[in-house]
Amino acid sequence: MEQLIVARKEAGKVVVRYMGTKRHMADHVRDTISELKPDGRVVDLFSGMGSVAESLRETASVVTNDALSFTAAVSRARFTGPDRSTPSAEVIERLLPSYEARLHELEAVYAVELKTETTALRGSRADLLSYMDKAQHVGNSAARRRKAKLAAESSGSEHYELASLYFSAGYLSLRQAIELDAARAAIDADVHLRDRDWMLAAWIAGTSVLVNAPGHTAQFLRPNSESAHTRIVRTWTRSLWDEFGLALEAVSQVGDEAWRRNNSVYVGDALDLVSAGELRDIGTVYADPPYTKDQYSRYYHMYETLYRYDFPDSTGAGRNRSDRFTTGFSLKTAVVSSFHDLCRNVSRMQVPLVISYPSSGLLGDAGATVPEIALQYFGDVQTRSYDANHSTMGASTGASKKSATENLYVCLV
Ligand SMILES: C[S@@+](CC[C@H](N)C(=O)[O-])C[C@H]1O[C@@H](n2cnc3c(N)ncnc32)[C@H](O)[C@@H]1O
């Protein structure tokens, strides 16, 4: 399962395509939670792109949590903070000098490669394939890995080369990767820290619009057909800096200032969060765990590495970070115990737990059901079922759409 963030200017909102998104179910979840009349904040434990947290803007304050840190930047930008008063054009104007300075440095560093790329983009499909296959990156070149280590340890502008070293000539064109690095240099140099999450969320969202990948970033697309070739040439020649500007407009704040003031955003393992016992003022917990064996960290590694900008160990054509987060919810051998942990810890908090889980989920493959586990910890478990079409984005099932029954399990203490 995956997700891809696609930011478009649509009714002023970020449109996020995320594997397993509950956007289509958000109203049902909101209504179910409202009926529980939560006496405190609602925790969205596996919040992803936050479609459920967003739907609760007039119901209750929210605490979001997800294991992937780039999702938290998006959540902070949308669900926290005072009203923004700065127009996006002013942000662009503020960042432009630092952006251009780093852009020109990188254009000089990569002058030869940029020329090769331009020639490949003007050439045939075979030319582009050959360019992609021969391009050097951290996944196939010891020299690039050495450069990445130097950049990681640099305190100057040379630090800003991660996208070029990791993701160019694959997920992005080299030209776009350079723009991305230059934009990050400008964002990191900006002194208006209040705008930082907004800028970083837009930087990621703008990238997702242009990424050469099928909606997630487990792998990039190759020009294996004429239509793929045309699409890649068209996408690769678009400007990331322009998309960043549009995404600043699209990453709008949700709810009013009073609602956002009481919201919190956490990053980490959901099971750690509920077992730590540190959450305060909680009325209900909502859990939308992964339900297939696809680890999200594999599908969204590029956004995670971009956001963290931490020059991780990375190997192979996919340039995937080696220290990816993995969860028991996506392992057939651990999914049953993960559900036990979830139910045990939330029941200790003495609040209702609402779980989203499809009938076709991995838990069933492991021979268990949500009610049979939940009833060991809660006094009553009600099931509500809905027909839904899942977007799998071609992850492990291969099909891009899969019809399924979505269930909401309402577990009452
Ligand atoms: C089904 S998706 C949630 C989608 C979300 N409700 C939405 O509408 O965008 C599951 C999410 O759980 C996160 N995740 C997976 N295992 C986790 C864990 N153990 N702790 C916290 N988050 C986890 C994934 O990164 C992913 O964002």
**Closest residue by CA, ligand 1 atom 12:** 46
What gap in Å lies between CA 222 and CA 23, rounded to an integer? 30
pLDDT of residue 8: 40
Give the ligand 1 atom nearest the CA of 51: 8
Closest C-alpha to 201, from 239, 151, 249, 157: 249
Ligand 1 within 6 A of CB of 357: no
Q: Hey, is 286 helix, strand or coil?
A: strand
What gap in Å lies between CA 398 and CA 392, rounded to an integer? 8
Give the ligand 1 atom nearest the CA of 22: 8
**CA of residue 12 to ligand 1 center, whole Å:** 25
Domain 4-81+258-293+331-412: which CATH class?
Answer: alpha beta
pLDDT of residue 147: 97
Alpha-helical (H) ranges within 56-195 are 69-79, 88-109, 111-122, 125-134, 142-152, 162-167, 174-189
Ligand 1 within 6 A of CB of 329: yes
What gap in Å lies between CA 288 and CA 357, rounded to an integer? 7
Q: What is the dihedral of CA 351, 295, 326, 61, to 10 degrees?
A: -30
**CA of residue 351 to ligand 1 center, whole Å:** 21
Give rounded-to-5 percent helix, strand, coil for the chain.
50, 15, 35
Q: Which two tokens stand for residue 135?
A: 């391009």
Ligand 1 within 6 A of CB of 170: no
Q: Report whether 102 contacts 160 (CB < 8 A).
A: yes
Q: Which residues have a Cβ under 8 Å from the Cβ of 80 and sit 6 or more positions away? A: 197, 260, 263, 264, 265
**CA of residue 45 to ligand 1 center, whole Å:** 8
**Closest residue by CA, ligand 1 atom 24:** 296
What gap in Å lies between CA 40 and CA 31, rounded to an integer? 16
**CA of residue 65 to ligand 1 center, whole Å:** 8
What gap in Å lies between CA 356 and CA 370, rounded to an integer? 10
Pocket test for ligand 1, best of 43, 54, 296, 337 (most atoms within 8 A of CB): 296
Pocket test for ligand 1, best of 49, 66, 337, 345 (most atoms within 8 A of CB): 66
Write down the domain spans for the chain.
Answer: 4-81+258-293+331-412, 88-250
What gap in Å lies between CA 31 and CA 28, rounded to an integer? 5
Ligand 1 within 6 A of CB of 2: no
Pocket test for ligand 1, best of 16, 46, 271 (most atoms within 8 A of CB): 46
What gap in Å lies between CA 12 and CA 398, rounded to an integer? 33
Give the ligand 1 atom nearest the CA of 49: 9
- Maximum C-alpha span of the chain: 68
Q: Which two tokens stand for residue 35?
A: 């009926």
Q: What is the pLDDT along the chain (413 residues), one digit of tens a residue?
A: 333 344 443 434 544 568 888 988 999 999 999 999 999 999 999 999 999 999 999 999 999 999 999 999 999 999 999 999 999 999 999 999 999 999 999 999 999 999 999 999 999 999 999 999 999 999 999 999 999 999 999 999 999 999 999 999 999 999 999 999 999 999 999 999 999 999 999 999 999 999 998 877 788 999 999 999 999 999 999 999 999 999 999 999 999 999 999 999 999 999 999 999 889 899 999 999 999 998 888 889 999 999 999 999 998 888 989 888 999 999 999 999 999 999 999 999 999 999 999 999 999 999 999 999 999 999 999 999 998 776 555 565 555 556 679 999 999 99
Element (H, E) at 84: none
**CA of residue 227 to ligand 1 center, whole Å:** 33
What gap in Å lies between CA 24 and CA 5, rounded to an integer? 16
Count other Cβ atoms within 10 Å, centred on residue 350: 8
What gap in Å lies between CA 258 and CA 83, rounded to an integer? 10
Closest C-alpha to 345, from 411, 251, 254, 405: 411
pLDDT of residue 397: 54
Q: Hey, is 156 helix, strand or coil?
A: coil
Ligand 1 within 6 A of CB of 299: no
Q: Hey, is 103 helix, strand or coil?
A: helix
Ligand 1 within 6 A of CB of 51: yes
Q: Hey, is 324 helix, strand or coil?
A: coil
pLDDT of residue 293: 93
What gap in Å lies between CA 241 and CA 191, rounded to an integer? 20
pLDDT of residue 392: 56
Q: What DSSP letter does each residue of 242-284 carry, written as one string?
A: HHHHHHHHHS---S-HHHHHT-EEEES-HHHHHHHT---SEEE
Single-letter amino acid, residue 55: S
Ligand 1 within 6 A of CB of 287: no
